[in-house]
Amino acid sequence: MNRRYLISAAIAAISLFTLADARRRAAAQGMPRAPGFARANLTIESQTGRRHTFTVEIADTDERRTYGLMFRKVLPGDHGMIFDFQRDQPVSMWMRNTLIPLDMLFIARDGRVVNIHERAIPHDETAIPSEGPVRAVLELNGGTVARLGLKPGDLVRHAIFRNAP
């Protein structure tokens, strides 16, 4: 065997051991295992005509919605998570086990932003409610709403709203 192959195999073994060890530690600390999330593109059209595109993970089951962005130490600036509740209903979010501040956009079935909560505080278990029935909630890095000038009434385009281009 050549030296490069042996080095690659050793690195792979160490990586697998480290990942398995991290999962064991998480389980021992009572942290649930992260479910798999599908990804898709999503666009927000502001009332000023500007378009902002994000790559989002889709939380569309009870397990995925419950886990959400918990335990994440970082979220790329052009990424987020959309929580699809499958039907219109009043919802509340919280920040249990969430390590980073988040902006939350509460979205009606037609893709219109109903209300926004900016810079939710990590680990805060205070309920953050929608202002009426919504189909979904979009979570982005804290500060994104202010940086992009997003407002209630802006349009979110994604397949769950049946308005994607």
- Do residues 35 and 58 lie in contact, with contact meaning Cβ atoms separated by under 8 Å? no
In the predicted model, what is the mean pLDDT of residues 13-22?
A: 40
- Do residues 37 and 59 lie in contact, with contact meaning Cβ atoms separated by under 8 Å? yes
Q: Which CATH superfamily is domain 38-161 in?
A: Protein of unknown function DUF192 (2.60.120.1140)
pLDDT at 112 over 60: yes
The residues facing 120 across adjacent strands are 102
Using pLDDT thresholds of 50, 70 and 90, give the confidence band for residue 56: very high
pLDDT, the chain, mean: 86
pLDDT at 26 over 70: no
Q: Which carries the bigger pLDDT value, residue 94 or residue 15?
A: 94
pLDDT value, residue 63: 93
Which of 34-43, 50-59, 123-132, 142-151 shows the lowest mean pLDDT across its residues?
34-43
pLDDT of 70-109, one tens digit each?
999 999 999 999 999 999 999 999 999 999 999 999 999 9
Alpha-carbon distances of 158 from 3, 108, 119, 126, rounded to whole Å: 49, 12, 23, 28
pLDDT at 32 over 90: no
Flag whether the pTM goes above 0.95. no
Q: How far is the C-alpha of 27 from the C-alpha of 30, rounded, in Å?
A: 5
